[in-house]
Chain A
C-alpha cells in the first residue's frame, strides 16, 4: 500500500505528460478553430477544477461548522480556496489568450468570462476576510459561513448566469463537455483525460497542502 502511494504522484505526472502530448499530437485541431483550439484541453479543465475547489471548500466548511469544529477542516477549506483561485486565474488567462487569437480582444465581457471573474472576486474576498480576523476560532467560523454561502453563489456564477445571457462568445458545450455535438472523438478523449488528470492534480496538491499544515500545526503544538 505504501509503495502504491509513492508511485501515484509519478503516475499522475505521466498521465499529464501523455495528456499534453495528446493535446498537441493526437487530437486534431477543431473544425474552424485552427491550432489555437488546443488550448481548450487545458483551459476547460482548469475552469472545472476551480469550481471543484470552491465546492470542496464549501463542503469542508459545512463539516467544520456542523460536525465538530475541527480546525483542520477549516484549514482544508482555505487551502482549497487558494488552489481554486490559482486554477481560476489560470483559466481566465488561458481564456483571454484564446479570445485574443479567436476574436481579436483579450476581454469581451462575455457572460461566462465575467461571471467567472466575479466568482474569483468572491473567493478573493474569502481570503481577505481570513486575513482580517485575528482570533483563530472566529476566523474559522466566519470564513466557513462565507464559504458555505459560496456553495450557492458559485454554481450560480459558473453554470446558471452564463446560460441566462442571450448571447455568448463561448462555444456551446463548454464545461460539462460530455459533448454530443461538434467535437471529434479524439478530442473528446483527450479532453476527458485532461479533466481526469487535472482533477487528480488538484486533489493531490490539496492533500499535500493539508499535510503540510498538519505538520506545521503539530510543530506549534509541541512548542507550547
Chain B
C-alpha cells in the first residue's frame, strides 16, 4: 500500500494547512516569535546605538547578533508544533492516520513559512535601527532563504525528538545548538559578506550542502523518532 506521489503531496499539504489554520486561530507562534525577536532587537539597538558602533565593529558584531536573535526566537516559538501534539494528546490520532514523511514535510513547510515571515519582519527593522547598508541585497536574501531553511529543518527534527521527553524547553536549546552551529557560522559569514559587498565564496554552497544534509537526515530519521 505505497502512497503515490500526488496523495503524499496532498497529505503534506493537509498538515501544512492544518498547522496554519490552528496557528491563525491562536496566533501563538507568530506572536511569540515576533515579540521575542522585537524585544531582543530593541535591547540590542538600545545598548549598541548610543555607543556609535564603527563600521568595522559593526560588520563584525551585527550579523552575529542578528542570527542569534533569529535562533532564539525560533527556539522560543517553533518546537511547539510538535510539543503541542504530544501535550494535547492529538499525537495518537496523528500517528494512526499520517504518513511520517508527509507529516515531517508538512511541519517543515510550516516552520519554514513562519521563519521567512519573521525574517521579513525583522530584517528591515534591524537594518534601519542599526543604520546598516547592504551592498549585495541579492546575497542577503539568498542567505536568509538558505539559512532560514536550515534553521527550520534542524529545529523541526530536534523538536520531534524532544516532544517525547521532559524539560522540553531547555532540552531543545541544548540539543539544537550543536546541530545548528555550522548553519549559524556560515549564515553569519555570508551576511557579513552581503553587507560588505564581498562575494559569497564557497560558503553559500556549503550552506546549501548543510541544508541538503539536514533534510535528508530528517527524512530518514523522523519515522523512527515518530513511531515506536
Contact = CB atoms under 8 A, between A and B. Distances in A.
Within the complex, are A and B direct neighbours (CB within 8 Å)? yes
B217 interface: yes
A185 to B, nearest CB: 37
Nearest to B225: A145
Give the contact-size bracket for chain B.
20 to 34
Interface of A: 65, 118-119, 121-122, 124-125, 128-129, 132-134, 137-138, 141-142, 144-146, 148-149, 152-153, 156, 161, 164
Nearest to A123: B178
B178 A137 contact: no
Contact of A128 (B171, B221, B228): B171
B182 A161 contact: yes
Nearest to B210: A156
A133 B177 contact: no
Contacts of B178: 118-119, 121-122, 125, 153
A124 B174 CA distance: 9
Contact of A65 (B174, B217, B224): B224
Contacts of B129: none
> Which A-B residue pairs are the 7 nearest by beta carbons?
A122-B178, A132-B165, A125-B175, A125-B174, A133-B165, A132-B166, A121-B178
A65 B228 CA distance: 10
B187 to A, nearest CB: 15
Contact of A134 (B166, B182, B213, B225): B166
A128 B174 contact: yes
A106 B178 CA distance: 22
A117 B115 CA distance: 28
Given A118-B181, A122-B178, A142-B164, A149 B224 contact: no
Contacts of B179: 122, 149, 153
Contact of A129 (B175, B182, B213, B217): B175
B167 interface: yes
Secondary structure of the B contact surface, majority rule? helix
Contacts of B225: 141-142, 145
Given A118-B181, A146-B161, 5 more contacts: A129-B162, A129-B175, A141-B225, A142-B165, A152-B217
B171 A129 contact: yes
B177 A121 contact: yes
Contacts, number: 60
A149 B166 contact: no
Interface in B150-164: 157, 161-162, 164
Nearest to B157: A149
Contacts of B228: 137-138, 141
Nearest to B223: A145
A146 B175 contact: yes
B221 A129 contact: no
B175 A128 contact: yes
B104 to A, nearest CB: 13
B154 to A, nearest CB: 10
A129 B167 CA distance: 9
Contact of A156 (B161, B182, B224): B182
A133 B175 contact: no
Interface in B78-113: none
A149 B181 contact: no
A198 B157 CA distance: 35
Contacts of A145: 161, 221, 224-225
Contacts of A142: 161, 164-165, 225
Contacts of A121: 174, 177-178
Interface in B203-228: 206, 213, 217, 221, 224-225, 228
Contacts of B171: 125, 128-129, 132
B203 to A, nearest CB: 9
Nearest to B221: A145
Contacts of B213: 152
A153 B179 CA distance: 7
B174 A133 contact: no
A128 to B, nearest CB: 5
Contacts of B181: 118
A142 B228 CA distance: 10
A125 B167 CA distance: 13
A187 B182 CA distance: 35
